[in-house]
Amino acid sequence: MKISIRQTTRFLAHVLVLGLVAVMLLPVAYMLLMSFRNGQEVVNAPLALPEHWRFENYANAYEKMSYLRSILNSLGITIAVTIAVSFTGALAAYPLSRSKSRSTQIMISLLSLCLATPSFVTITPIYETFARIGLLDSYLGIILAFTALNLPLAVFFYTSFIRAIPKELEEAAELDGCSQFQIFWHVIRPLLGPATATLSLFVMLMVWNDFIYPLLLLTDDKKFTVMMSVYHFVGNHSLNPEELFPAAVLGSLPLLVLFIVFQRRIVNGITAGAVK
Amino acid sequence: MPRIRNLCRAALFMPAMMSFIIVGYVWSFILSPFSGGLNAFLDLMGLSAFKHEWLGDPVTALVLVAIAHVWMFTGYTCAIFLAGYANIPADLEEAARLDGANGWQRFWRIQLPLLAPSFTVNIMLSTIGTMKAFELPFVMTKGGPDGATQTVGLQIIQTLFQEYRFGLASALSIVLLVVVLLVAFVQNRVLRLREDLL
């Protein structure tokens, strides 16, 4: 069999690309491998592979982080926020995508202002308000805060999505005597599935990975989200590898598993969200 | 080829799915002076002379916090570029090939200009995202050494959590917001103009 120069260079190019990607993955591999070693072993030979696979690191982290509890907290908050944000977001987006009046335009530019606002700009007002009405350290408080933070994105997302839905559908429903809300509920809402799926991804990423809002709003460790437990377990002063790495792996695990399963959908959803 | 592409895309994207806290912790440990991975690697390569207290030196601390940031979001940026590539019509590429343009020429003359919208999105997302960044310095360096990695965002968080000066924190946030909006506005104008010119 003959191999042409072209094929060889192509093969070499692939090897080069895969090599570079492997280098990018080194920190992840490092995290995984180190999580099975104890502190003394890491000090003695910082780069050695694990000699004994110390699963007890994980057992320890699992217990001290109250891992299951914090996973359930994060999951519950994600679900509640997704429901709240998709319902209110879609309701707001429907008129915004259909009306062309001046006030609508102003509303839309205000929304894009909200999109550019760093999340900590709203921390102080949210904290002060919640302190006054007794929402600190409650699930309801953190759910409301995350809903508010995700709402501009949701409205933006749904607005562009609803614009693409042909108006004829609504006109037909209107002739049949449907009210505006009935049109929304029976015609528009059933079509929003894909947009809601992508949106829930963004909500999920935020709820799992953000730690400033939970840090400020939650003090009871029974209500901690996953990242809060990681932060509390590992601390911030001396980094102990046999605590740090298992906690890091456990903390990233749910999202990474989800990512591996829905890889294509997640990347497409997030890039589409960014491009719009 | 599509297989390799999807594999690389997924692998590169992975860090963006991790939390800042975890990325910060892992990188802090890699860079730690005694049992950290980077110094051990330099030892292994016989480059012990380059060993360094990476996060203890103002210059390298800032550079390495930036590198950790870049590491996290490279895949995200790539994914946006890949989506841009997918939007380039295949017949343009074909026409250039027939006209005898080689790979480099096709890249510089056809693909790069047509990727202008992806450049706009990526440049804007990374500037806005980085201007409000505080997470990695918060975890990795606490803004030190000697303020070398202090960002406005971190200043706000510290004013809030350590000094409990809510008014000052709010004022700083508003200033940052105005600056971010200004930069975003100018960038958007300039980059859209660039898209039209290309």
Contact between chains at B160 and A248 (C-beta distance less than 8 A): no
Contact present, B140 and B68 (Cβ < 8 Å): yes
Share of chain B above pLDDT 90, in %: 7
The pLDDT value recorded for residue A2 is: 58
User: How does pLDDT run across B120-175, given as a tens digit for each residue?
Assistant: 888 888 888 888 888 889 888 887 788 888 888 888 888 888 888 888 888 888 89
A6 interaction partners in chain B (CB closer than 8 Å): none
pLDDT given at position A236: 62
What proportion of chain B, given as a percentage, has pLDDT over 70? 99
Predicted complex ipTM exceeds 0.90:
no
Q: Do residue B29 and residue A216 have CB atoms under 8 angstroms apart?
A: no
Q: Residues B86-98: pLDDT tens digits?
A: 888 888 878 888 8
- Answer for the pair B97, B106: CB distance below 8 angstroms, yes or no: yes
More confident residue, A45 or B179: B179
Contacting residues of A for B184, CB less than 8 Å apart: 116
By Cβ distance, the residue of B22, B83, B166 closest to A230 is: B22
Cβ A27–B15 below 8 Å, yes or no?
Answer: yes
Sequence ranges of the domains in chain B: 2-197
What is the structure's pLDDT at A70?
86
pLDDT at A273: 64
Q: A24 vs B12: CB contact, 8 Å cut-off? A: yes
* Cβ pairs A/B, distance under 8 A: 161
Q: What is the pLDDT of residue B71?
A: 92
Nearest CA distance, A182 vs chain B (angstrom): 37
- B70 pLDDT higher than 90: yes
Confidence at residue A38, expressed as pLDDT on a 0 to 100 scale: 78
In this complex, which of A43, A128, A264 lies closest to B166 when CB atoms are compared?
Answer: A128
The answer to whether the Cβ–Cβ distance between B169 and A128 falls below 8 Å is no
Q: Look at residues B72, B66, B73 and name the one whose alpha carbon lies nearest to residue B137.
A: B66
Tokens of B100: 């005898």
Domain B2-197, what fold? MetI-like fold (1.10.3720)
B69 — pLDDT class (breaks 50, 70, 90): very high
Over residues A2-31, the pLDDT tens digits come to 567 878 888 888 888 888 888 888 888 888
| Cα A39–Cα A45–Cα A47 angle in degrees, nearest 5 | 100
Give the whole-angstrom CA distance, residue A204 versus residue A168: 34
Domain boundaries A65-234, CATH class: mainly alpha
Q: Kindly give the confidence (pLDDT) of every residue in chain A, 276 residues in length, as a single tens digit, with 9 standing for 90 and above.
A: 556 787 888 888 888 888 888 888 888 888 888 888 777 777 777 777 777 777 777 877 787 778 888 888 888 888 899 899 999 999 988 888 888 888 888 888 888 888 777 777 788 888 888 889 988 888 888 899 999 888 988 888 888 888 888 888 888 888 888 888 888 888 888 888 888 888 888 888 888 888 888 888 888 878 888 888 888 888 766 678 777 888 888 888 888 888 888 887 788 777 776 665
Helices and strands counted in chain B (H then E) = 11, 0
CA distance A217 to chain B (A): 12
How far is the C-alpha of B38 from the C-alpha of B29, rounded, in Å? 9
Cβ-contact A203, A85 below 8 angstroms: yes
- Report the candidate in A184, A183, A185 with the shortest Cα–Cα distance to residue A173: A183
Q: pLDDT tens digits for A189-223?
A: 888 888 888 888 888 888 888 888 888 888 887 88
**Range A64-95 burial, b when 16+ CB lie within 10 A, else e:** ebbbeebbebbbebbebbbebbbebbbbbbbe
Residue A275 has what pLDDT? 61
Whether residue A86 contacts residue A196, with contact meaning beta carbons closer than 8 Å, is answered with yes
- The nearest alpha carbon in chain A to B18 belongs to A252
Name the more confident of B178 and A264. Answer: B178
Using CA atoms, how far residue A153 sits from A133, A146, B191, in Å, is 26, 12, 23
